[in-house]
Structure 1
């Protein structure tokens, strides 16, 4: 394949024939395994590790297939293929996850080889979306476009993808392993809640370096990652991460899955002892074999298509005039856009969370529309966020109102990014066999309760995260308001946490009191938010008011008698 940037897909790494041959062989291998399972030659226990290596889970009602979207980047052709799969093999929709992947919840076992074959036709797969391996590396959804970016983290995320895929030493780790990378000092990837989090910052001589955080995680034992190193140069990225994962693989517990994550190991050893082991491993490695020479990095960068960012000189002025002429458009721009490195462009965030909708769910028709809009407005490039939304990264400012008009007409123009309606939720007990309670109905009721866009703007930045069980797939510990589904004698109850954050001001939400029955939870949160609006000072945001006053003021509101 040519590396002429005019022939490469914008935003994502261009596969070559080696990559495609590998995917084809993997599909053929799994097709034979599925046939053996259907024929009864493999038991479910024997088949389970094979299907998990291909992203296939057995849920409450059907198989679920998790499709990898490496570092959240895809092209319009790939989105159209996901729409095709949703329409022909699922129930006409898919679900974006907090790891920037896509899940299909109603898959038939006998269809999975054909689905994987369709994915391979557009350079997609489901490898390492499950199992005790290094999972999909997550990345800033504004990578390569953000005005505050020091380096393009997609390049390094792709390097880590290639390094980790089927790594012979790390294919059967003590537990799953998650990495996130931000190219900006402003953490937009929840880096400190990952097994390894990488955040770029300015280094000496103007060259960015990485802050390396290790041992973060959510689940039944939420932990904020500790800083293992604050000056990791680009050339040592792979070597240092390999040293970390080697130490985890050697010392991580395998006798108890609940104590097997690296966060438990770091706590058990202590950060200094863990650092010593990593440094010792790092010192033993032949660094020449791992060093990321500039030529290697440039070679990976060359496999990404670069958009030609040409905009009229008056593009910014045109946007300003459009905003002045239409208050509804102006509100959407305030909430659903992000500054671009090129003054003539802007990044547009498409909310997949309409009023009363299901967070992260997207229909086949909506997928096709977003693919069409990506072709028309953003060089065919689409980004999935870990907040379960979609981004068009390179939109000309003078054409933004046209895009917004199309989105509004399709029901995709909800102006709620970062606000109370931008709820994160896992699928919960409606689908997941691990869940204790349903996340979706609570999310829908809250979204409908706070649907008024003027009210959402008055409330200001407020993150609500909902998990259906202690595994925390909805990242409830990291929400300003977290909601955890629990089981009480066969009934669904919801426990509230307050004060969490996944950004630079990272914090774990604290339990405010006893769990509430479902029919009381939404009203309790409404009272909590009303209390914040009374107690805040000026334009103070919820998280700042909570930290200033503490939990007591809010607890009284939550547990006020009906």
Structure 2
């Protein structure tokens, strides 16, 4: 199939003299409908209406500004109505696409989930979500088929084990990515758990931070594997050791993907643990006060950073928001180990943590409850979710590791996955998402099964997994531009005129480097390179075999994809 494709657009600085809706420059008068509904009523206030009114009067009683707007401040989106094909996604209005059920997003913020918490999550899935539960690539649990009548009880159960949906969506500080091995890894630089806890305690749910220009994403890690994809978050704190000041954090700002991807940039400052929360607070307030609100598709922090540059951003942070200068600091070292933590690893206390892979993040109520039982049975401590749709069991006694590893398999989890099961991610897709054009989860799962069968001779020759990220639309929730093989869903026209689900192909993306060139980090596209969903296993097999045959000694797939001739990538 030879439909022309171009490279993904990059964020360019705005040179417009027109008002951008920056509060600190233009005042707070709303410039569009989205800003108007946010100004009319803080999104946090809708919780009381959900509990006292809508859960009793039902879906049809919910006014549109709450249903399509403020509900997001509590992690609720209406899900896609079944039976609407991808070709109609852009043709219908949101209310025509939606069902009377919700997706509910539960933020974990890198927290360790006890067996009790896992059971609560599992029971919610079974009782209220038709057995659904997905681990997202932002360490959230996402349910589907949620009725508004059940939301207050779900909140009560979540909060009984320290979990919440507060600002899990909306123009807010959304769920944090935290290192899944915080506090236990033998090679950890600094434990980010206290910083995450302080930021949450002081600022999550603060009405002063719940009217941002758009969503605001945070990542914090102290592990040298750089396991929180810090380059694509609005703000990230990355563990480093200052030669004079000791362990602390390197500050990155302005990363995001979607249709105009941009990697974050270092400000070059060192942030000590005791200042980390207030530095985070300073960055989010810069976004609140100076972010562009006039056009929603230009409202992420990356656009402000593209306009200002890192030198001005640092100056404004230090002079207007902190009141002191931050010391210069070192960059993190390039990681030498994977950040997904799959497999068996020794902890600093002599016990082990074990990373396990579900298939493209799908778990479900039975799996979560079964995992809780297994964790208790072997005497482990807890479970954390990862930024790669995986999970990590923490605190496993040395003499029970084999029992745990064996016990994961019947649950649909594995600590010894194939390369493609380990490295494939998929967004929600057309099954539930109103923005999606194609199916993703089942397509990716079927591709994994085929590739495991077809590439059994090649897999032992590969030193590292080849990441395969499957996305149902251009918005890149599954991080397609940063994968070895990234697939952006769209409807394709075959040679005989049929319209079928398919993907535009991105190749050679990659993250987790302190000095990665942006073009390399975001991969490349090849003119005309698109594949149908049906052709997907054939294409991946073909390009992986070419890589295996043509690569140099120790050459990663991303490096090969950037130097390979276009005909070798088709």
Asked if Structure 1 and Structure 2 have the same fold, meaning a TM-score greater than 0.5 normalized by the shorter chain, the answer is yes
Counterpart CA distance in 2 for 1:236 and 1:418 is 40
Q: Paired residue for 2:526?
A: 512
Q: Paired residue for 1:492?
A: 501
Alpha carbons 1:37, 1:44 under 8 Å: kept? no
For residue 103 of structure 2, give the secondary structure of its aligned residue in structure 1: strand
More deviation, 171-180/229-238: 229-238
Q: Paired residue for 1:368?
A: 369
Relative to structure 1, the CA distance from residue 128 to residue 500 in structure 2 (aligned partners, 3 Å threshold; closer, same or farther) is same
1:501 equivalenced with 2:507 (yes/no): no
Q: Paired residue for 1:416?
A: 417
Relative to structure 1, the CA distance from residue 414 to residue 187 in structure 2 (aligned partners, 3 Å threshold; closer, same or farther) is closer
Displacement of 1:383: 0.6
Counterpart CA distance in 2 for 1:438 and 1:249 is 35
Q: List aligned pairs for 1:290-439, cutoff 5 A.
A: 336-342=343-349, 344-353=350-359, 359-377=360-378, 379-413=380-414, 415-416=416-417, 419=420, 421-439=422-440
For residue 487 of structure 1, give the secondary structure of its aligned residue in structure 2: strand
Displacement of 1:519: 2.3
Relative to structure 1, the CA distance from residue 226 to residue 485 in structure 2 (aligned partners, 3 Å threshold; closer, same or farther) is same
1:523 equivalenced with 2:538 (yes/no): yes
Q: List aligned pairs for 1:19-58, cutoff 5 A.
A: 30-35=50-55, 38=58, 42-58=62-78
For residue 369 of structure 2, give the secondary structure of its aligned residue in structure 1: helix
Displacement of 1:558: 4.1
Q: Deviations over 1:471-529 (max 9, x none)?
A: 11111111111111123476422011111112126511211232222222321111100
Q: Larger relative CO (CA 8 A, sep 6+): 1 or 2?
A: 2
Q: List aligned pairs for 1:538-549, cutoff 5 A.
A: 538-547=553-562
1:471 equivalenced with 2:482 (yes/no): no
1:263 equivalenced with 2:274 (yes/no): no
For residue 430 of structure 2, give the secondary structure of its aligned residue in structure 1: helix
1:145 is matched with which residue: 184, 197, 219? 184
What is the TM-score when the length of structure 2 is the normalising length? 0.79
Q: Paired residue for 1:274?
A: 313
Counterpart CA distance in 2 for 1:398 and 1:253 is 55
Between Structure 1 and Structure 2, which shows a larger proportion of helix residues?
1
Counterpart CA distance in 1 for 2:412 and 2:284 is 44
Q: Paired residue for 1:81?
A: 120
- Structural RMSD (CA): 2.5
Displacement of 1:416: 2.2
Q: Paired residue for 1:447?
A: 448
Counterpart CA distance in 2 for 1:437 and 1:503 is 29
Q: Paired residue for 1:291?
A: none
Counterpart CA distance in 2 for 1:255 and 1:382 is 42
* Alignment: residue pair count: 479
Displacement of 1:186: 2.9
Counterpart CA distance in 2 for 1:335 and 1:52 is 32
Displacement of 1:72: 4.3
Alpha carbons 1:420, 1:456 under 8 Å: kept? no
1:248 is matched with which residue: 279, 284, 287? 287
2:145 is matched with which residue: 106, 117, 134? 106
Alpha carbons 1:497, 1:509 under 8 Å: kept? yes
Counterpart CA distance in 2 for 1:468 and 1:414 is 27
Alpha carbons 1:429, 1:437 under 8 Å: kept? yes
Q: Deviations over 1:153-195 (max 9, x none)?
A: 1221111222321223211100000010111233111011100
Gaps of at least 5 residues in structure 2 are 1-44, 82-100, 327-340, 494-498
For residue 403 of structure 2, give the secondary structure of its aligned residue in structure 1: helix
Alpha carbons 2:220, 2:237 under 8 Å: kept? yes
Q: Deviations over 1:85-112 (max 9, x none)?
A: 1111112131111110111111112221
Displacement of 1:388: 0.9
